[in-house]
Structure 1
Amino acid sequence: MSIDGRTAMKTGESKWITSKDSRQDVQIFRAKSSAILSSSTTIIHDNAQLTVRKKEFNSKILSKFPEKDFKHPIRVIIDSKNQMKKSHKIMHTKEKILLIRLKPDNELWPDNIKQIIIKPYKKKINIISTLKFLGNLEINNVWIEAGSTLSGSLLKMQLIDEIIIYIAPKILGHEAKPLFLLKNHLKLFECIKFNFVDFKKIGPDIRLILEPQKK
């Protein structure tokens, strides 16, 4: 994101705010995860695949992820309006995908793509039920790459254990999109507080790791 806390321009343009160094660093965190959680809106807009690009790893990093033991993280897509179609780029990848939906469609999906039907909460996908479902599959390390709406919902529900932020030395302006969308107007004493856990320079960018303050 930018130094003024923006993740995309008003038009949605976001390639690229951070550097290649930061994007390569993200691949390591993806590789360590059991699953990657995103929304259909984000994936469609970014034409994302959410795979681990091991070809970008140097020999030192590759040694930490031996091929015989390595498993690509499951892609978990929140898709309440059944927007994901076979034509999307991510659907042409061989790794496992879970489409989290309110109702199934009639598509004949390949074996690596499963539709998971979650009961709604206020006519939307119940995020807590979704995470419990993943937990029952022993998916306990979930990496989130999502837009401000889903990220804001997870933050508001206190479902985030850690935030990893890459900050580029750029300013995008007040009309650009924020990292989190919090619809309620918070007063200062209600703000959501974090502790800094780690700080590292990644190429021209800065990587911050934060954890929620315990109440």
Structure 2
Amino acid sequence: MATATEADAMRRAIALAARALGSTSPNPVVGCVLLDADGRILGEGWHRRAGEPHAEVDALRAAAEAGHDVRGGTAVVTLEPCNHTGRTGPCAQALLDAGIARVVYAVADPNPTATGGADTLAAAGVDTEGGLLADEAAAGNAAWLTSVLHRRPFVVWKYAATLDGRSAAADGTSRWISSADSRADVHRLRAEADAVVVGSGTLRADDPHLAVRGPVPGRDAVTQPLRVVVDTRATVKPGARVLDDAAPTLIVVGEDADTGHLTGVETVRLPAGPTGIDVHALLTELYERGVCSVLLEGGSTLAGAFLAAGAVDRVVGYLAPALLGAGPSALGDAGIGTIAHALRLDVTDVTRIGPDLRITATPLAPVPAPVSATEES
């Protein structure tokens, strides 16, 4: 039975893992805290990016650099130690070699190529226990778990709106509905995502940059996300801000689009229906590129298409204390024709960000609907 000290260490390990959100794909985020027999911390670490040491090895290194002997100690890890050799060695063996006597982990590894670390440790006589704060750790690793279990990226839809649900005024102006504090928080969301997706309508209306700007609190370093523009007819113009070299960019076009003007820009052709690019084809393409998490930023029609396809896992709304009374709504047609079919959400967090409210929620059930994205947003 895990102790209160081990539970505290697991909370710390979950916080450490979160420092690398958006930087480890296609690997999970993992944190590790090493304790001595009296519950004192000997070392801690986290997996910073793919190809670099895993959390357990990072923590063992930190303990060694501090002059601590970890033999007989406990490793508290957010994910079951891996049991395979890839770009790095198996963490289960690293813990055995270090003389760790007990391992407490939160979530069992569902990856068939890496699972089995707990069994290896137990077979070698290590006291092994799983499931400690599993829900909290799984929530922090939702993107990776979704990619492993469902073979698609985890999708967060972010929007900003007035209290009456408008994303722009009647004349089309939208800068700025939300506050500077909220816009800074959006850069945190971008930093935590592998890819940021917008439609060509948003590109034409706002000419967004989509890269992460400035330092992000709690992050030692930021990996720029892949900027993805859903542009069925390849209407993006040379000189658009999203085409600069601040971050990589991918233009997703229809199979018959003329891309002759997009020299030096990476494009991919995907199937498109009457309303635009197929959502599931898009997510499959991103998954095959190692993208585990997507931030869907714009606009209302594109968001509606993703919701209609049942492809939104989390909603983050920034509500500004303002009223417009007219203008575009934050969400377009999502294939819902009656109140009985409304997509109900579970609100998981409400936080004040400057003058705004940030509301985080998850869909309670998917909405069966068409599966096309659209270029207009």
TM-score (norm: length of structure 2) = 0.52
What is the CA-CA distance between 1:186 and the residue it aligns to? 2.1
Partner of 2:214: 54
8 A Cα contact 2:190 2:225, kept in partner? yes
Q: Assess, with a 3 A threshold, how the Cα gap between structure 1 residues 88 and 108 changes in structure 2: closer, same or farther.
A: closer
Partner of 1:105: 259
- Does residue 83 (structure 1) correspond to residue 235 (structure 2)? The answer is yes
What is the CA-CA distance between 1:214 and the residue it aligns to? 3.5
SS in 2 for 1:7: coil
Q: Assess, with a 3 A threshold, how the Cα gap between structure 1 residues 185 and 27 changes in structure 2: closer, same or farther.
A: closer
**Aligned equivalents of 1:53 and 1:74: distance in 2?**
14
8 A Cα contact 2:196 2:226, kept in partner? yes
8 A Cα contact 2:181 2:354, kept in partner? yes
**Aligned equivalents of 1:6 and 1:128: distance in 2?**
28
8 A Cα contact 2:252 2:270, kept in partner? yes
Partner of 2:292: 140
**Aligned equivalents of 1:93 and 1:126: distance in 2?**
28
Q: Could you list the runs of 5+ residues in structure 1 that have no partner in the other structure?
A: none
What is the CA-CA distance between 1:65 and the residue it aligns to? 3.4
What is the CA-CA distance between 1:183 and the residue it aligns to? 6.5
Q: After the TM superposition, which residues 98-177 of structure 1 pair with which residues of structure 2 at under 5 Å, given as runs?
A: 98-102=250-254, 103-107=257-261, 109-110=263-264, 113-122=265-274, 124-173=276-325, 175-177=326-328
8 A Cα contact 1:104 1:115, kept in partner? no
Q: Assess, with a 3 A threshold, how the Cα gap between structure 1 residues 24 and 186 changes in structure 2: closer, same or farther.
A: same
**Aligned equivalents of 2:262 and 2:342: distance in 1?**
46
Q: Which structure carries more relative contact order (alpha carbon 8 Å, separation 6+)?
A: 1
8 A Cα contact 1:49 1:93, kept in partner? no
AA matched with 2:345: F
Partner of 2:247: 95
What is the CA-CA distance between 1:123 and the residue it aligns to? 6.3
8 A Cα contact 2:194 2:291, kept in partner? yes
Q: Pick one of 65, 79, 100 that aligns with 2:220.
A: 65
What is the CA-CA distance between 1:122 and the residue it aligns to? 3.5
**Aligned equivalents of 1:14 and 1:196: distance in 2?**
26
Partner of 2:179: 19
SS in 1 for 2:350: strand
Partner of 1:212: 363
Q: Pick one of 165, 168, 176 that aligns with 1:5.
A: 165
Q: Assess, with a 3 A threshold, how the Cα gap between structure 1 residues 156 and 183 changes in structure 2: closer, same or farther.
A: closer
**Aligned equivalents of 1:44 and 1:7: distance in 2?**
16
SS in 2 for 1:71: coil
Partner of 2:344: 193
8 A Cα contact 1:43 1:49, kept in partner? no
AA matched with 1:154: F
Query: Is the radius of gyration larger for structure 1 or structure 2?
Result: 2
**Aligned equivalents of 1:93 and 1:200: distance in 2?**
34
State the number of aligned residues. 204
Deviates more, 1:99-108 or 1:136-145: 99-108
8 A Cα contact 1:85 1:91, kept in partner? no
Q: Assess, with a 3 A threshold, how the Cα gap between structure 1 residues 54 and 92 changes in structure 2: closer, same or farther.
A: same
AA matched with 1:151: A
8 A Cα contact 2:162 2:320, kept in partner? yes
Q: Assess, with a 3 A threshold, how the Cα gap between structure 1 residues 27 and 123 changes in structure 2: closer, same or farther.
A: closer
Partner of 1:32: 192
TM-score (norm: length of structure 1) = 0.89
SS in 2 for 1:178: coil
8 A Cα contact 2:233 2:258, kept in partner? no
* Percent identical residues: 26
Deviations 1:142-199 (CA, angstroms, capped at 9, x unpaired): 00110111011111111000000000100110x2111111265622211111010101
What is the CA-CA distance between 1:86 and the residue it aligns to? 1.1
What is the CA-CA distance between 1:83 and the residue it aligns to? 1.1
Deviations 1:50-105 (CA, angstroms, capped at 9, x unpaired): 010025x4xxx1x5132xxx320000100112111212222233421100001341
